[in-house]
Amino acid sequence: MFVHVVRSLLGVLLLVYGLNGFLGWFSAPSDIPSEASRYLRALTEVEYLWPLVAGVEVLVGALLLFKRWVPFALVLLAPLSVHLVLYHAFLDPEPLHALPAYAVAAANLVLAAMHREAYRPLFL
């Protein structure tokens, strides 16, 4: 039951944030540090990056919600989770901003641990 709740909540969170990347429901916080703002502007100049991130979030969120290829979805999410945690640890440590990033990373780790048998062939 716990795994289903974590998987569903993570799927909804990723789907909402991913769709926001395409539809712009929420705007970025206005009180981010200047270093973080410069970094985000640099990423915006790479025109394909934000659609790629949003697309991965939507894909992973949908796979988790529909319980399809969950171990694969978690592998796709791993680099994004690491990036989110490092961004907030070094550039925007405000707890309110960082909470979703840490929640995504924690859920990714919990679900990966629950599906560890699927990853065994990768480490043989």
pLDDT at 97 over 80: yes
51 contacts 18 by C-beta, under 8 angstroms:
no
Residue-level pLDDT at 95 = 87
Q: How far is CA 56 from the centre of its chain?
A: 9
pLDDT band per the 50, 70, 90 thresholds, residue 59: very high
3 contacts 54 by C-beta, under 8 angstroms:
no
pLDDT at 1 over 90: no
The first and second tokens of residue 25, run together, are 């429901």
Burial class (CB in 10 A: 0-12, 13-18, 19+), 68: exposed
94 contacts 60 by C-beta, under 8 angstroms:
no
Across 19-42, average pLDDT: 87
83 contacts 34 by C-beta, under 8 angstroms:
no
Residue-level pLDDT at 52 = 94
